[in-house]
Amino acid sequence: MSSKQDDSSKRSVARIKTGSFERRLSLTKAGLLAGTRMGMHFTANLFTNKQTKADRHKKMLSRQAQYLVDELGKLKGSVVKIGQMMALYGEHFLPEEVTEALHTLEDRTVALEWPAIEGALRRELGEERLAELDIEQEPIGAASLGQVHLARRRSDGQEICLKVQYPGVADAVDSDLDSVAQILRLARMVRLGPEFDDWLEEVRQMMHREVDYRLEAETTRRFGEMLKDDERFIVPRVFPEYSSDHVIATSYEPGLGVTHEIIQTLSQERRNYLAKAALELFLRELFCWGELQTDPNFGNYRIRLGDEEAGTQDRIVLLDFGAVQKYPPSFIEPVCEMIRASYHRDLEGVIEGGIRLRFMHREWPRKVLKEFGEVCMAVLEPLAKEEVPVPEYALNAQGEYCWKGSDLPARIAKRATMSALSRYFKIPPKEFVFLNRKLVGVYTFISVLDAQFNGRDILERYL
């Protein structure tokens, strides 16, 4: 096994606390301390005026959130991934101060030292299989649940990515999630109720999917099969002989991040090509497969530049299929109908879809239902029919939609906040939380590419 020399002072740890007792003890102590602090805070504020009380509460939440993040960061493993998921999907359930602090967990990922990884590989693959590979000891990527090492098969030089799950994290998922939820409850950082419990169970299911490497390998293979004839995308090939319950082996697929300077300076035509591919992939996942990659992390995508001399186009490399969710027709069909109704400016159809999805209730005031439908139609602005009015600054000289300059997400958020919706539309169904995150991720991907095109032609193929 080779060791790649690296002068960088990357942080690493020799082991991760995965024992249920030691992790739960650490989290319980943190929760009790946080709860005590919050109780003292409420007592101290009993006789203060409303504004002072609000200011102090905001500061207290920030301190509590930072303390929580510090404690989660010490334990690493699945508890960090849980925190990251809550940062991504918890905006409807957690105070802003908490989600902001949880986002900093993304910067706290450290690698596990090679001896622990080597031991895991020997247990998972066996000596004979391991002897077929020359593995670089320095990881090329590290995340909260595992890390990736580059390997070469000695027989033919095939480059392989070995994604190795940290020992014990799969067994700690349930106890970790219960403990984190308990901290939030003790520290009074969350609005309790059936919606929160449902959302928590959805996070639990997502976590179990994330640590199920057999499932991820099968999902990767299936997406590769579905996209094999589409030259715009690359899906890594799975090597079953080097995969196991806690190891996934795939072909190494190099590429550049979407924010890389080279990608950002590509011609408008090339950036539009990549952006249109991303939009169409989302629509295909939604309308055709009912199965979506719900993690919007840019680390899950790479851009493979084409070669004009060889006649090849730029392509998007799709990585990490651990966050793929299959939705039932009872959810997908109303969503697709709402998109179709929005495109055709059918307000009643949009409202009916929203009621079927439990976004709102038929007995709500007509004004609220109408505003909800109009906000939904406004979301479709980049894909709208030609006759739909669009702000002048959102279009270029050729009448093409400027995704980055349109400021659409901010306009939608402002309209929803200022309308009566904010009093009725509190916590959406759990499925919508994840779908909304996917939609925001696609829009952001296209905006970062600074693409300029009208999406109506692409949408019409699926309507």
Distance CA 287, CA 327 (A): 11
Structure tokens at 171: 């067994």
Q: Across-strand partners of 111?
A: 12
Pairwise CA distance, residues 386 & 363, whole Å: 34
Helices (runs of H) and strands (runs of E) counted in the chain: 17, 12
Question: What is the distance between the alpha carbons of residues 37 and 326, in angstroms, rounded to a whole number?
Answer: 41
Q: pLDDT for 324-374, tens place per residue?
A: 988 899 999 999 999 999 999 999 999 999 999 888 889 999 998 999 899
Beta strands in 319-457 (DSSP E): 324-326
Type and span of the H or E element at 250: strand 247-251
Structure tokens at 279: 């939009």
**Token pair in block for residue 113:** 């030292």
Give the tens place of pLDDT for each residue, 172-206: 888 888 878 877 777 667 767 777 788 788 888 88
**pTM given for the model:** 0.83
Percentage, residues of the chain above pLDDT 90: 49
Rounded Cα distance between 177 and 408, Å, is: 35
Length reported for the chain: 463
pLDDT category of residue 86 using cuts at 50, 70 and 90: confident
State the Cα–Cα distance between residues 41 and 330, nearest whole angstrom.
45
pLDDT in tens, 374-400: 989 999 999 999 889 999 999 999 999
CB 176 within 8 A of CB 26: no
Distance CA 454, CA 406 (A): 12
pLDDT tens, 298-325? Answer: 888 999 999 888 888 999 999 989 889 8
CA 13 to mean position of chain CA atoms: 26
Mean pLDDT of the chain: 83
CA distance 380 to 434: 18
Q: What is the pLDDT of residue 3?
A: 43
Amino acid in the structure at residue 57: H
As a 3-state breakdown, the chain gives helix, strand, coil percent values, each rounded to 5, of 55, 10, 35
- DSSP for 219-237? HHHHHHHHTTT-TTEE-PP
Q: Per the structure block, which two tokens stand in for 349?
A: 């159809």
Domains of the chain, residue spans: 12-105+172-189, 255-463
Q: Cα dihedral sign for 84, 222, 461, 358?
A: negative
Q: Beta strand pairing status for 301-304 and 315-318?
A: antiparallel
